[in-house]
Structure 1
């Protein structure tokens, strides 16, 4: 992960196509999320959907990861492996996916509420999503990575939540993980300068309790040290002058969730 890759306008056009398939996939997953559904069933749906739309799951076999989606439930922060677990009323579940389409890779995540979740958990989800939106506002040419990091940190810390430090956002596009790293904490004006053609993933990973995490023996799953819930949202953003160009969208998810209400 040593090189920063800048993307041409043609590259960004292709990345937007990949990001659209991924965004639509997460909308499809939103339809399936309900009590009694296994995380494996969600993963199977994702594999089929991506292939049906001419893509390849970018996560499958990435450094040996065995599935198309990372599905992380409740106190799992990220990189959960889909399996036989059946979603229950009151769970929250982070669904993180990636699509490779014509050699271009997209990456996005959303944390879903299963059935009725309690008010404290709802607030965690809301604040984490808000922190992503505030971070994105800083993702313009001339700013620095630290400006994004600080915007996330400032909003989240007002609520006393723990900000995961061991895992960060990243560059993306030609590979799933490129430079620069994009932490969710830091100082304004520090870090890599954001320039037109850079494409990054901003992904706050926010814990209701302590910031600390533990890494499971499966080599992938990361969970909170105190067993409290964690939320995770991720968008893919192309850096431009004046206004961020968000390549992924939650609009397909929101359309489904609006119908569920």
Structure 2
């Protein structure tokens, strides 16, 4: 049990007495830890003020992706998408989080066809039939919001469309199991089960992550896992779910630029992403 006297103020900063706030949650966490599960570190549980900040940043990210949806087309370069994202993010009062993050040179990731993630914008022109992931992360007044969407350029093949649709279904399969006292293994199991039932594989090398005060926080959100394993979810946790679903093998390789990850077999891949909040009742999609 947490080392607090029931009449003391709660450790979360709510101003409430511990007995009236996190006492019941901590009691249940202690019992679940006895089953081999992991209680979340207190420092990743967000306050109501922090949640509101993350919510606002997530909505800026949503607006940027809405703008991309209106502008993306055959004939545009990925560098032009980068410029659009950069300028509109600044116009909305945000900062592109990826720019100069650990040396990443651009304000957005644009990943085409066989590119799993972290595609660096350049002079490549989008063409009819491409499937494209645009991944936007925004810093707004010190808080982070992260989301990505797939875009189909013109008329794509049936197999490409089916992959894109399945990847979105996998995202929501993961989101739908988020609730207090579920585990992160439940998320990965739901995603993996749905993808493999449809004949696809799930990337292991990359996953979702805690977010809000920093770009990447605990926990790592594995998209392949056993149910009822790993860290326990409680209200106030914010993280991304972002399954990368491959047409062929789940294996990836990183190109010489040190960022661009592609499928090892050159086959298609698709990804959708949201930032979510664990609420008292279940889940809120902050980037919806």
Under a length normalisation based on structure 2, what TM-score does the superposition of the two structures give? Answer: 0.85
Distance, in Å, in 2 between the alignment partners of 1:80 and 1:180 is 24
Please give the per-residue CA displacement for 1:69-100, whole angstroms capped at 9, x wherever unaligned: 00000000000000000000000011001000
User: Structure 1 residue 171: deviation in Å?
Assistant: 0.3
User: Structure 1 residue 241: deviation in Å?
Assistant: 2.5
Please give the residue correspondences for 1:47-58 in structure 2 after superposition, counting only pairs within 5 Å. 47-58=86-97
Equivalent of 1:135, from 166, 171, 174? 174
User: Structure 1 residue 243: deviation in Å?
Assistant: 2.1
Please give the per-residue CA displacement for 1:205-230, whole angstroms capped at 9, x wherever unaligned: 01111111011110100000111110
Equivalent of 1:7, from 25, 46, 54? 46
Distance, in Å, in 1 between the alignment partners of 2:131 and 2:91 is 28
Please give the per-residue CA displacement for 1:137-193, whole angstroms capped at 9, x wherever unaligned: 111111000001101011000012121000010000011111100011101100110
Please give the residue correspondences for 1:89-238 in structure 2 after superposition, counting only pairs within 5 Å. 89-238=128-277
Under a length normalisation based on structure 1, what TM-score does the superposition of the two structures give? Answer: 0.93
Distance, in Å, in 2 between the alignment partners of 1:35 and 1:13 is 37
Gaps of 5+ in 2: 1-39
| Helix, strand or coil at the partner of 1:123 | helix
Please give the per-residue CA displacement for 1:95-117, whole angstroms capped at 9, x wherever unaligned: 00100001001110111101011
Aligned residues: 248
Gaps of 5+ in 1: 250-261
Distance, in Å, in 1 between the alignment partners of 2:178 and 2:158 is 31
Which deviates further from its counterpart, 42-51 or 4-13? 4-13
| Helix, strand or coil at the partner of 1:236 | strand
Q: Root-mean-square deviation (CA), in Å?
A: 1.1
Equivalent of 2:105, from 66, 78, 81? 66
Distance, in Å, in 2 between the alignment partners of 1:228 and 1:141 is 37
Distance, in Å, in 2 between the alignment partners of 1:34 and 1:246 is 27
